Every structure is written in structure tokens, then in C-alpha cells.
A = this chain, B = another copy of it.
Amino acid sequence: MTKPLRLHEDRLFPADPGTRAIARELYGLVRDLPIVSPHGHTDPSWFSGNAPFTNATELLLAPDHYLYRMLYSQGIALDRLGVPDRKGLVSADPREAWRLFASHFHLFRGTPSSLWLSQVFTDIFEIDVRLEAATADLYFDRIGEALKTLAFRPRALFERFKIEAIATTEGPTDTLEHHHSIKKSGWKGRVLTAYRPDPVIDPEHVSFKEELARFGELTGQDVGTWQGYLEAHRVRRAAFAEAGATSTDHGHPSAMTADLSPSVAARLFEKVCSGDFTAHEAELFRAQMLTEMAQMSLEDGLVMQIHPGSFRNHNAWLFKSFGANKGADIPAQTEYVRALKPLLDRFGNEPELSIIVFTLDETSYSRELAPLAGHYPVLKLGPAWWFHDSPEGMRRYREQTTEAAGFYNTVGFNDDTRAFLSIPTRHDVARRIDAGFLARLVAEHRLELDEAAELAVDLAYYFPKRAYRL
């Protein structure tokens, strides 16, 4: 009655046999390379505490917005899936939530979630039947048992996954205690942080005021003044760098940058601190802060990441009931050519500065980002991101960026995930898609096989190491 679950070794390669053979060969060169994960959202406490994960629902379903957004779109209430509400309360029984998920697993056909989970189920939990209503309990039990074993503790998995380095992302007022504790523990796993100061940079952030106050306390700076505020950033950046960070990350609604005079910037800062500001002033302040962050990156060498273009918490009722990051962030049109100009006018030709730009608006690949990255020394293109971190999305990314930006202005793969168990499969998908793209270039005699081989390894391993200064 159950259906077999088996991953095909040629999955995701182009179907044409000649091209597939080349893809297979290229993939063979990168399949077993260590994982470099320079941007993501795993929880450092997993690696400091090394406590066992609890059960399938809490590990795989409840934290994964890719999964419950799709289930929600088909009418399944979030609380039935074990998703915590705004106060953190969970009302569903984990096994019941898992059954509900299992009986709707067909919804994920054709999506990357289905690919990722299938590989997690087979490779990590060694399950060989497909997930459906009839196998829900088998899955829940098998996963639950595995999680009790030492082999499934976070550090053991980290080593099993051959993670050479992984970056987490922390807010500006994070104490970084888990990172410190990992370091002190003597464990060899390399877990870095990244500086994501949005909560003290975005005047429209729900807890801007509180975060700013805490930012002042933590740094001992007078963050009521523009100079003190900037100094506080310098202090925290140094603390993050000390805890291993090699990058900062900025998740703004748009890519807008500004280059105001110090006195105008100071007045704007006063304005946004007062709480009495317009949406435009908030935007302008964020814009100015990107340029300030670039200036500091030039000083301290942290690579700067700009992740714009998500309309956060689009679903008002859901935000009120369940809070942020619940699958209701929607990409919006994003302009780069005019938006980045003030920053680029000031720092665009600095050989020591490195800015990695991401997009959720695929129309910017060939029109704006590849031409920009193919010219400005400071710019590099981040990989296909979020909704586009998928086989078709990654293919479009290469097809639409390579001709104007080349491969060498890209930075390899980011898994960008909080779904720890999916990290190996996410990197595997990227390696397979890149192998397939390179194979097509070889099959069409646009690239020599030896060049493709070198590039495959660069994309999978050396580019992220180099771009993130790891």
C-alpha cells in the first residue's frame, strides 16, 4: 500500500542524455565537498547546548514557513500545525499536527520543499516510503526515536553534514553568549555570527525604541546623539567580529541608499528618535544607514550584505495573531540602479569594500544587477534567494546573470535557512543545478569541460569562502 521513496542519483540534471552525462561528471567533483554556509538562520544555542531535538513536528514542520504557508493557503489553520501563536503558545498535539501535514503532503508536489524533505527523510532518517496519511505515524515514530540518539544531536549532525563553517545571524543587541560558549567549549565546529542591525536602524521596526535603548546600554554609548549612535554600531561590529563575524546583513524594504551631509543626517536621526517621522523619513534614514554601514565596512573589513525587497507581514490578521515571519512576507518590485547610486557614488570604486546584493525581484537580474555587478568593483551578486532558492529559480539566476556579470561576480550558494536538517540537501540542490547549467554550456560548446570543472568547484566551495572572507 505504501509507496517507495527513493531519490534518483540523476535528479535535477537536464534530461538530455549527453548533457546529463556531463552534469553527472561535474557533480561528481563537488558532491562531497565540505559545506560552507556563509549566510543562514540556524540557532547558535543548538550548537552551544547540544540538546536533543524533540520530535518531527517541532523540528521539521512548526519552524518552517515554507511548509505551513502552503498548508495555510489551502485552508489549514496554523494552530493545528503546531505553529506557536504570538505569545509563543502551541495548542496542537505534535503527532496530530504531523498527521495533518502528512495527509496534505501532495500539496508540495513540484516545490523545493518536497525535494528538500524527501532528501532529509531518506538520507538523514533512512525512511524508504513516501510521506502520506498512511505513513504519518511511522514517520513520526521513526524520527522521534532517531532524535533521541547521540547521532542526532546538533553537533553530531553538524559534523556528519561536513559543515566547514556556518554563519548565524544576530540582532544588534544580542549578547552572542552562545557563540562565546561554543568557542569556550573546545568543540571544533566553526559557527560564526553576522551583524544584522535592522532593529536599531529601521525606525518602523516594532521595537525600535526598546532596541535602541538596549543598544545604548550594551555599548555604553549615548545613542541619543548621532555620533554616539554611530559609535555604538562600531562597538557592536567589533564585538561581532570578535565572535567570528565576517559580514553584516541588512534586510530593508527597498535598496534605497543616501549620502547626506553629517549635519543633515544628525537632524534626521533626531527626527526618527523622536518617534515623530514620516514614512519617507524612515526610508531616508535606512538609506543613509546603508551608506554609513558601507563606510564602517571599509574600516573594519566586514562584508556587507543587502537583502531588500520583502514586504514583511503582509497578512495583517496573521501578524496580529501569530507575529512576524509566518510565511506572509511577499516580494515586491525592487529598483537598484537609482537606489544604490548614492552609496556607489561614494564607495563604488573602493577596492577593499565588498557588498553582496540580493533580490527577490528576478526582473532585476539581467536588467540591473548583472550589469551593475559586472562593472562596480565593490558589488557582487548574492545567489537566488528565498522564493527563488529552487531548481527553476537557480536556473533562471544563472541564465540571466552569467552573460553580463560572469560567474566571478557571484558568491556561490547561501542556504539562508533555519531548517538545520535541510542544509545538506539545499547545498546539494544548488550543486546539482549549477552542474546542470555548466553542463549545458559545455554541451552547447560555450565552455570547455576543464573550465566547467574548475567553475563547479569554485561555485560550490571557493567562491563563498572568498566572498565572505572565511
Query: Hey, which bits of chain A sit against chain B, CB under 8 A?
Result: 3, 7-8, 10-19, 69-70, 72-75, 106-112, 114-115, 130, 311, 314-318, 327-328, 330-333, 335, 337-338, 341, 344-345, 348-349, 351, 360-363, 366-368, 370-377, 379, 387-388, 390-393, 399-400, 402-409, 440-441, 443-448, 450-451, 454-455
Give the copy number: 3
Which listed residue (B108, B376, B440) contacts A315, Cβ 8 A?
Answer: B376
Contact B368 A387 (CB under 8 A): no
- Complex formed: what's the CA distance from A115 to B363 in Å? 25
Q: Take A16-B15, A404-B111 as given contacts and tell me if A69 and B375 are in contact as well, using a CB distance cutoff of 8 Å.
A: yes
- B7 contacts A445, CB within 8 Å? yes
Instruction: Contact check, A387 vs B406: say whether CB atoms are below 8 A apart.
Output: no
Nearest CB on B from A320, distance (A): 11
Question: Among B16, B114, B373, B440, which residue has its beta carbon within 8 angstroms of that of A73?
Answer: B373
Contact A393 B366 (CB under 8 A): yes
User: In the assembled complex, how far is the CB of residue A381 from the closest CB belonging to chain B, in whole angstroms?
Assistant: 11
B443-A351 in contact (CB<8A): no
Other A-B pairs, 8, CB within 8 Å; known A15-B16, A73-B377, A74-B409: A13-B444, A15-B18, A15-B19, A75-B377, A109-B407, A110-B407, A317-B349, A390-B404
Does the CB pair A112–B392 fall under 8 Å?
no
Closest-CB distance, A35 to chain B (whole angstroms): 22
- In the complex, the answer to whether B333 meets A367 with C-beta atoms within 8 Å is yes
Give the Cβ gap from A432 to chain B, nearest Cβ, in Å: 10
Across-interface contacts of A11 in B (CB, < 8 A):
444-446
Contact B402 A110 (CB under 8 A): yes
Is the pair A314, B337 in contact by a Cβ cutoff of 8 Å? yes
Contact check, A372 vs B451: say whether CB atoms are below 8 A apart: no
Given contacts A16-B15, A440-B15, contact A391 B367 (CB under 8 A): no
- Min distance, Cβ A217 to any Cβ of chain B, angstroms: 37
Complex alpha-carbon distance, A130 and B388, angstroms: 36
Chain B residues whose CB sits within 8 angstroms of the CB of A372 once the complex forms:
314, 330
A331 adjacent to B109 (CB under 8 Å): no
Which chain B residue lies CB-closest to A359? Answer: B367
Residues of B within 8 A of A454 (CB): 106
Considering residues A7, A373, A446, which has the most beta carbons from chain B within 10 angstroms of its beta carbon?
Answer: A446
Residues of B with C-beta under 8 A to A112: 403
Cα–Cα, bound, A77→B73 (Å): 49
- Choose from B10, B72, B107, B392 the contact partner of A406 (Cβ within 8 Å): B107
Residue of B nearest to A110 (CB): B402
Task: Report whether A367 and B331 are in contact in the complex, using a CB–CB cutoff of 8 Å.
Answer: yes
B110 touches A447 (CB 8 A): yes
**Cα(A374)–Cα(B405), bound, Å:** 32
B446 touches A391 (CB 8 A): yes
CA distance A170 to B163 in the complex (A): 58
Cβ-defined contact, B447 with A109, below 8 A: yes
Query: CB-CB < 8 A to A391: which residues of B?
Result: 403, 444, 446
| B contact residues around A360 at 8 Å (CB) | 367
